[in-house]
Amino acid sequence: MSILSVQDIGIAFGGVRAVDNVSFSAETGQVFSIIGPNGAGKTTLFNLVSGVYQPKTGQVRLDGEAVTALEPNRLAERGLSRTFQNLQVFFRMTARENVMVGRHLKESRGLLAHLLALPSTLRQNRESAEIADALLSRVGLADYADTPAASMPYGALKRLEIARALAADPKVLLLDEPAAGCNPVETEEIEKLIRTIADDGVAVVLVEHDMKLVMRISDRVLVLDQGRVLAEGKGAEIRSNPKVIEAYLGTHGPREANLALN
């Protein structure tokens, strides 16, 4: 059984069906990519799956449990984590503190112990800081640990969000355009990182515009167009699918597509 399965999910904004009857499932240890032209509904789909929006139709199952329309923090408790296309970083906190927040669910939550700085709280702080430092090294941001997020470069913030999401030890990780705005070197680093995350036994669901990255890294690809599923399959199948080429390049596309991709 799939760790994440989405069935016939849909939402409409003022009559526009932003996401319409979309189904897919993601498997542990694999990278599942969602592609599509601008406005196809990729980010909306992420917001539905992660509980930020309430779906009008359909359902989401996480590890066999029905989790449709649960609050994002309840989904996080069940092992779903995500990053954001438009950065949602805690800008007034340092990089280390940002990742420590990602550790929230694993931390002790006794308020009295926090107010009095009991040894258990100090130990907790140290432990979270150590885990955060290890994750920052993993995404290549060890040098930024004490830097306020507000003064970090864009590409670093993208990776900071990934580190924060990983801090929760997720079973499913939704990555919304992790390589957007990154230079080729950073993109390559992110590609390697995503691969190791999947290899560690996380189901990665990826929205990405960098087609070469998607084709290299994905186990399966889903193509969305105008809120609907256009095609689903392995990278090679998607690349040669005439409907996909038409959605991206118009009806005269196939020849140009072959030129562009080969």
Partner 1 sequence: MQALFSHRLAVPLVIAALVVALSFALPSSFYLRVAALVWISAIAVIGLNLLMGYAGQVSLGHAGFFGLGAYAVAVLPAQFSLHPLLAALAGALVCGLIAFAVGRPILKLKGHYLAVATLGFGILIAMAISNESWLTGGPDGMPVSRMTLFGWRVRGAETWYWITGGLLVVGAWIAVNLVASPTGRALRALHDSEVAARVAGIDVARYKVRVFVISAVYASVAGSALALVNGFVTPETANFLHSIELVTMVVVGGMGSILGSVAGAAILVVLPQLLTTFHEYEHMLLGLMMMVIMIVLRSGIVPSLAALFQRRRK
* Interface positions with partner 1 (CB under 8 A): 50-52, 71-73, 76-77, 81-82, 84, 88-93, 97, 100-105, 107-109, 111, 113-117, 121, 124-125, 128, 164-165, 168
- Torsion from C-alpha of 132, 136, 142, 146, nearest 10 degrees: -50
- From the CB of 116, what's the least distance to partner 1, in Å? 6
Of 72 and 233, nearer to partner 1 (C-beta) is 72
Of 24 and 90, nearer to partner 1 (C-beta) is 90
Q: Which residue has the tokens 């990742």?
A: 99
- From the CB of 124, what's the least distance to partner 1, in Å? 6
| 75-98 exposure pattern, b = at least 16 Cβ within 10 A, e = fewer | bbeebbbbbbbeeebbeeebbbbb
Task: Measure the CA–CA gap between 212 and 8, rounded to whole angstroms.
Answer: 29
Task: Measure the CA–CA gap between 116 and 99, rounded to whole angstroms.
Answer: 24
- From the CB of 146, what's the least distance to partner 1, in Å? 9
- From the CB of 33, what's the least distance to partner 1, in Å? 20
- From the CB of 123, what's the least distance to partner 1, in Å? 12
Task: Measure the CA–CA gap between 12 and 43, rounded to whole angstroms.
Answer: 14
Between helix 154-166 and helix 184-199 the angle, nearest 10°, is 10
β-pair type (65-66, 220-225): unpaired
Of 77 and 130, nearer to partner 1 (C-beta) is 77
Of 110 and 254, nearer to partner 1 (C-beta) is 110
- From the CB of 96, what's the least distance to partner 1, in Å? 10
Of 109 and 259, nearer to partner 1 (C-beta) is 109
Residues 141 and 159: beta-carbon distance below 8 Å: yes
- From the CB of 199, what's the least distance to partner 1, in Å? 23
Of 85 and 240, nearer to partner 1 (C-beta) is 85
Task: Read off φ and ψ for residue 163, nearest 5 degrees.
Answer: -60, -40
Of 103 and 220, nearer to partner 1 (C-beta) is 103
Task: Measure the CA–CA gap between 98 and 148, rounded to whole angstroms.
Answer: 9
